[in-house]
Chains A and B, each alone.
Chain A
Amino acid sequence: MARCKLIAFSLLVLVMLSLSAAAQSDPISKPDIQPYGDYPSPDGQAKAQTTQNPAYQAPDKNNPKEVELDDVTFNEIGGLRADPRAKPGHPGSAEDLHDARVAVAEVAERVLQSSHPEREQAPHRLTNETVRDLNAGNRDVIRALNDSLSAARSGSNTTQGAMHFRTGRHKFNSLYGHKATMFFGPFPDATGGKRYLTIAP
């Protein structure tokens, strides 16, 4: 009887250990950086692609608002990646990440259109590192930029007029004293760690 109990207990612990190991975050592999030679200025955006990579969809240069919104959205959450283990439509999935970008684009646009557009957000231009990654054909960055543009163009109101967002290692109960209304993630960050997005009115 004691032997049976020991076996049963051991099996239970084995199962729990396996589940625990599976639940750990796998380290994110380093971006697939390729050799590069030319560095356009962030203002000039980037052009280079390879045939194996998704095509980069540049924002409409004649539409500064779109460029600005695209870049702010990417800069705010472009480093986040969909969790490959998340079920479609569930927190952390590619769909959830797209919805998060849409939410950020919506709030960012409201801030830019508000009477206080100077309220600090991420910069309205891509950083040198992003441009370098783009020129190097980094697929994750190209996908994130394309998705940011799609979010910027969505013109939706999924956040129902929300004016605040924040990314962090955990969810926030409130922002600016307003109870949070939407949460996204957790998403793996390109350099490691997990990030959530919180939205509040």
Chain B
Amino acid sequence: MKLNELSLTEAQKGLREKKYSAQELVNSCLERIKLVDPKLKSFITVCEEKAQQEAKDADGYLKEGIDNKPLLGIPFSIKDNFCTKGIKTTASSNILKDYIPPYNATVVERLKDAGAIIIGKTNMDAWAHGSSTETSDFFTTHNPWDLSKLPGGSSGGSAASIAADEVIGSIGSETAGSIRQPSSWCGTVGFKPTYGRVSRYGVIAMGSSVDSPGPITKTVTDAATILGIIAGADGRDATASSKKVENYLDNLDKPIKNLKIGYSEKYFQAANKEVAEKVKESLRILEKLGTKIKEIKLFDPQYAIAVYTILQRSEVSSNLGRYDGIRYGQDRTYFGEEAKRRIMLGTYCLSAGYYDAYYLKAQKVRTIICQDFQKAFREVDLVIGPTSPSTALPLGSSKNHPMFGEVADVLVEPSTIAGLPGLNINCGFSGEGMPIGMQIIGPQFSEGLILNAGYLFEQATPELKVKPKI
């Protein structure tokens, strides 16, 4: 096995046992990127020299036996909407194509404090507006399982970089689906935490009331490790929760006998047959593990599309106001089609006379959707359903479909607007050999329980541990 193929947990262990050095690990990832990224296009920026230097430093620390840096020497890819001090951060937009931030996002700061090495910044839909990476102002990322297909998005570059073993761990961000949907299409673990569990400081804002940073990884344990490091209160983000962060690793293998898992037929009806069947099969696997599976009623996820679209476009129109042409070198003509569409729709929704009809109404429906989930979680502990209605679609699918993302993300939008945590985990493959994702949703701050269920499912399905051939 090559070093770049290791999981984060394996790499941590190997480095500490001095089976290989951080430099070897980093170089193995850099070689892999050189080999496959011309085809995949996961990365916008690769920080080769910087990463090698940091790996050298990490080896020094490892030699000294420094033990307060759990991610020491671990190569990461970071979605390009996370500000990285001294490293170009573009949000895949032409407006910010040359922008180098003078500061680190809180997530980046915490990863670096823990010893992580940033290998590079990954492609995404421009400003995170999309679910394909096709709205990137630079290029489209390809799916490692089939280069003629999309990786999903907006964190498509991060998911592809994990699926293709270009790095050991990755960070994405989700507004609605941007972690879970590309993870589903690329067969990775992707965890969108509760809104406010992870600080948004330094993440280029999209939908401020929903944006949630989270890990994209090879295993559930890796996701638990990273979440434990990046989660928690932040004096720079007033919406970050001060609730104590659990030790997610401690309870991963706790038996889940008697856990009540709900599912809503509405979510399965929205998915294609192959996806629906595979996720249903997974429910039976969970039943064998001792959980109680129960059908519950949830609103048709379609209602969430309108609510999410109005809230998100409104916030987008406000958040992109700062790119007014005075700074960053590129004026507003550099905005891509999708960004312009969103700015116009959001501006309209917030305009005098329309605010009550659109934004305020959407907020009210949002409250009702939150209540719908609260009701469900009085009956069951977790809810499971397909992550995406389909497996990865062919390149070009999003073109000429302004609502492509909203439809592709229909199954994650309800839990997103309710601020709930949700984990995507691979649960099988289609006839074409494309990964199928299942999502586990829980009440607010139930990250520990979700990871626990995800881990036991992962352990029960070792046959799914396969890698794409690129």
Chain A partners chain B: no
Binding site for A on B (CB under 8 A): none
